[in-house]
Structure 1
């Protein structure tokens, strides 16, 4: 059984006079498109975009935890190497500490500046575009 979306005229005047009804029409059409495009073999690009969106959305959800983990790792590694060398002088720390420090700072930079709502939104729009491209291929 194929569920068809609601038949509502969607135009600028309809959006202005009854925005709730036109939003319902848009949501109905999106649900219809998603239900008709679940075949990953037939719509591989759409599937890939959906996976990318899910990945980024999940990273955004994990951002607070990841930042805490990276900061705790930075502090922990600093005190670990302090115990190993007996000094707080970073010049005397071994090169493995500097490599560790660089990796953790790159990770912190990624979580602070790359993972953002705009980063997730950009791939969400890309997924939406791929979804709308499937309209003509649905029987």
Structure 2
């Protein structure tokens, strides 16, 4: 864990490393269930060497690359970044008075001329460019522990995006491990296959009893992983995280406004 802490910051661990590890975990668990000797001796040494040579970093880099590829497609589907969408006059997800408050703060603080609804409708691309610039200004001023919720939601979005990017690879790896394990169970089973149909129940019971519990447990995890990939990990799951991050980031306008007001009041008191 200490080595991982050196290689990855909190965001890197949650958003990049964890999706990569979750992708290979079911297959790795199946391998360890069949070859438990990998946990000790030479196997453990080889795993340590691979990790030291950048295996974990390469895995996290792959997850980020796949996630970025998915992100390009998602942005086209969504019509832009959630932060930009929420700042649009035409968007109804954010309450209008709250949007006006954010517009007023960002326009004054970032020194940008925010468009009204009519101007936005006439030139939406120009309006989006202003919103994007304002969001960039806001991001740079919320990179601290003081804005822990923003960091948390950002990492959550990165985690879901990168896991969605690894989806096809994860499903393929799980199915490969599942089929290989089932084939191995059948291959090593000490049963009379010539009388399989005649004694189906007895044959199945024999096969189940022959294999250690950890092997069946690993297969169960593999099946659950396939289910999770197919049902949980999807575009909507990523979109929800993207909007949660956008709401948290834009809400910092109020916090920054209060902080600026307090600083101004403090400076006035000192001057007096």
- Aligned position for 1:103: 221
Provide the secondary structure at the position in 2 that maps to 1:99. helix
- 1:117 pairs with 235, 240, 243, which one? 235
Larger Rg: 2
Count how many residue pairs are aligned between Structure 1 and Structure 2: 135
Structure 2 residues without counterparts, runs of 5 or longer: 1-108, 194-202, 261-272
Alpha-carbon distance in structure 2 between the residues aligned to 1:74 and 1:90: 18
Aligned to 2:15: none
Q: Which sections of structure 1, spanning at least 5 residues, go unmatched?
A: none
Runs of 4+ in 1 over 4 A off after TM superposition: 86-91
TM-score under structure 2 normalisation?
0.46
Match of 2:124 among 9, 13, 19: 19
CA–CA distance in structure 2, aligned partners of residues 63 and 85 of structure 1? 33
Q: Distance in 1 between matches of 2:118 and 2:204?
A: 67
Question: 1:90 deviation in Å?
Answer: 4.7
Contact kept in structure 1, 2:178 and 2:219, CA below 8 Å: yes
Identify the match of residue 60 of structure 1 among 136, 160, 164.
164
Structure 1 position 48 matched with structure 2 position 166:
no
> Over aligned residues, Cα RMSD in angstroms?
1.9
> Which structure shows the higher helix fraction?
2
Q: Deviations over 1:83-129 (max 9, x none)?
A: 21056865423363432332111000001111001001101100000
